[in-house]
Amino acid sequence: MKAFGAWRVGMFDPVCARAIWKSGICGRLTAALLSARGIYTPEMASAFLREDLDLLQDPLAMKDMDKAVERIRAAVAAGEIVAVYGDYDVDGITSTALMTSWFRKQGNPVVSYIPDRLTEGYGISEEALASLAEQGVTLVITVDCGVTAAQQIRYAAEKGMDVVVTDHHECVGELPRAVAVVDPHRKDDTYPFKGLAGVGVAFKLLCALEGPEKVEALLETYGALTALGTIADIMPVVGENRALMRRGVRVLREREHAGLDSLMAAIFVDKKSISGSDISFSLVPKLNAAGRMGRVRVAFDLLMEEDKREAHRLAAELCAMNAERRSVEDRVYGEALGMLGDARHLEEPIVLASERWHHGVSGIVASRLAERFGVPAVIICLEGEEGRGSCRSYGDFRIFAALESVRDELTSFGGHELAAGLTLRRERVDALRRRLGAYYRAHEGDRAQMRMYIDFCVEDPSLLTLEEIDALKLMAPWGVGNPPPTLCMRDVFVEAVIPIGGDKHLKLIGVKGGIRFDCVFFGVSVRELGVRPGSLVDLAFEPGINDFRGMRSVQLLLRDVRPSRNPGDPSVELARRFFAGQRLGPMEQALLLPDRGTLGRVWHYLTRRAKRFDEELDTLLPDIAFRTGIPALGRVWVCLRVLDELGLIRLKETGALAEISIPRVEGKADLSRSVLLARLK
C-alpha cells in the first residue's frame, strides 16, 4: 500500500459557503468545495460554473489563424488533395477524425495520416511526407503535432507541398516556415486561453473556417470528438475547455455516433449517463490501446465509421486489442519484477532493458514500478543496437532535469518533469543506470514524499448524502485545475473490513456520528491495510455513488487510511520526560525501550515512504505505530531519536513538527553506540 505521508488538509469558509449555497447556485457540499478552492462569492461561483458558448474566444485572435483559413479555403475551392497529419494518442486521433470529416463534408479529396507508434514514433517524418507527395497532396494540415518539425516542413516545401501547422505543444527553437503556424503557445501569440488540447485548436480552426454563426452547429457535429480528445489529453477544465467538455459530453449522450455508441455498448458504459470520468477511465484506454499496439488505424476508423454493423466489429476488435495490451503489460511488468529479484525497497532509479519488451506498454509499466518501489523508473525496449525508453518519476523528483544531466549518454529525449521518453545506444544502458543513480543521490532534496492534498475535513457526516454528492456533478468534468474532490473524516469507527475481488481490493464499513458509510479501497488488500474492526481511523476519500441494479447509495472511494490521533497515550509523556533527562522507573523504561527488530521496522517503513518529508509529530507517531505494529507511541518516538543518533536518519524537531531525511547508509548499525538505548537499559 502506498504511504502518502503528510496529508495537506485545506479548509472552507463556512460563511462564504453558506452565501453560495443560499444563492441557489448549488448544494451545500458543492458550495463548501468551491469555497475550499478559493471561490468565495456567489458571483465567483457563477463565473466558475459557466458553460455557455460565450466562453469561447474569437478563433481569429489566434496568431496565423487568418492565414490558415485563407490557404484552406483556397484548397477547397480548387479541389486540391489535402492531407491531415495527426498523432497516435487519443488527442491526435480525434483531431485527425475531426479535420478529415470536415473536408469530406466539403466534398474535398483528403488523405489522413497517423504515424505508427512502434515503427515511426511521434511527429512528422520525411518518409511519410514523401509518400503523401507521391499521392498528389499539395497541402498538409498537421493536428496535435508539427510545431517542432522545422526541418521536415522545409522538406515538404521541397516536395511542392504547403503546410498549415495546428498544435498545442510548447514552441521550442525556431518556428517552422509553414504557411501558418497556429499554436496558442507561440511566444508572439496573445490568444487569451492557452489550455486547448490539439483537438481544441483543430476545432477552433473549423470555427474560423465556418464563421461565428456556425459554432453551435459545429459543436453538435464535432463536440463529442472535441470533448473526448480534450479529456484524454488531461487539459485544464477551466474557461473554453469547460464549455467544450460540458457541451461535448452532452452531445455524446444525446446524439448518435455509430463508432462511439458501439464502443460504449461493448464496454457496458451507459450512454445516457456517461460522464467525464467514464470517458477517462473507460473509453480513452480502449482507444489508446490501438496506438500502443501499433494498429492506430482501428481507433481512427471507429471514430469515422457511420455503418453500425461495421462500427460494432471495430469496437469488438478494439476491446480485444485492449485485452492484448493488458496481457502484454502484465507480462512485461512481471519480467521487470523478476529482474529486480526480491527487492522490496530501492535506493536508486530503476533502469531496466530487454529485447522482449513491447514499447507500447513501456510507459505504463514504468508507472507501475515507480508506484510500487517509490523511485523513478525507466523501461527500455531494445531493438538491434538501439533502445527506446519511457521514464516515469515519483514524488517531486524531476525526471526531465535528470535526463538533461546525462544527455551525452542519450541519442534523444523529450518530455516534462514527471514523464519523458528517450532513445540511446544499447551499450549506454549501464552508464545511464549508473549516472541516473548518482544524480538521484546528489539531489535528495528533490525526492520529497508523496502528499495527499485534501480539500477539507468533513466534520458533519450528514453532509455526505446521496443528493449532495449527486449535486457535485455540477462542477464536472474533473481534471487539471478542477480535480475530483478529495475529502477526509477523522475518528471513524471501523465496523468491518471485507476482502473483495479475490482480496485484491477491500470494502470497509465505517461509522461516524451514528451514520454508516460503505467504503471501497481499490488495489489494497485487507492484509496491506492492516486495520482491524474496532479501530478508530481517519479516512481520505472521494465521495461517490454506487448504482447497483437501480439501487443508488453513498460510497466513499478511499484514497488513504491512517490511524486517528491518540493524544492520550501516556507513553508520549514518558518519552518527553525521558528526553528532558528525568529518571524513569524500570517498568516505564521497558515501555519505551525498542529492540533491534523494532528499530529495523521503523527504519524500513520510513525509507519506503520517502527520502525527505515533514509532518506533525502527533500525526507521524500514530502513523508509524499503526504501520509497524508498535503498541506505544513513546517507543516510536524513541526509535526516531535513536535512528537519528546512529546516523540512519536525520531528524529535526521544531516545536510540534518533525523533519526527516534519509541519508545513504552502508553496513549494519552498531546499537552499542546509542547513548539513549544505554540510558534505557
pLDDT at position 487, please? 97
Contact 425, 388 (CB under 8 A): no
Instruction: Name the stretches of the chain with pLDDT < 50.
Output: 1, 445-446
Task: List strands edge to edge, sheet with 180-182.
Answer: 110-113, 81-85, 137-143, 162-166, 180-182
CA distance 159 to 431: 41
Cell of 668: 549494519
pTM of structure: 0.78
What span, in angstroms and rounded, lies between the C-alpha atoms of 425 and 431?
A: 11
Q: What is the pLDDT of residue 420?
A: 81
* Predicted local distance difference test score (pLDDT) of residue 116: 86
Supply angle C-alpha 274, 276, 280, rounded to 5.
105
| Coil vs helix vs strand at 88 | coil
Residues 388 and 361 sit within 8 Å (Cβ to Cβ): no
Q: Three-class SS of residue 678?
A: helix
pLDDT tens, position by position, 166-207: 999 877 678 999 999 999 999 999 999 999 999 999 999 999
Q: What's the confidence (pLDDT) of residue 445?
A: 47
CA distance 32 to 45: 11
| pLDDT at residue 646, as a whole number | 92
**Would the CA dihedral through 212, 216, 222, 228 be positive or negative?**
positive
| Cell numbers that stand for 566 in this block | 491518540
Question: Which amino acid belongs to residue 18?
Answer: R
Contact 636, 674 (CB under 8 A): no
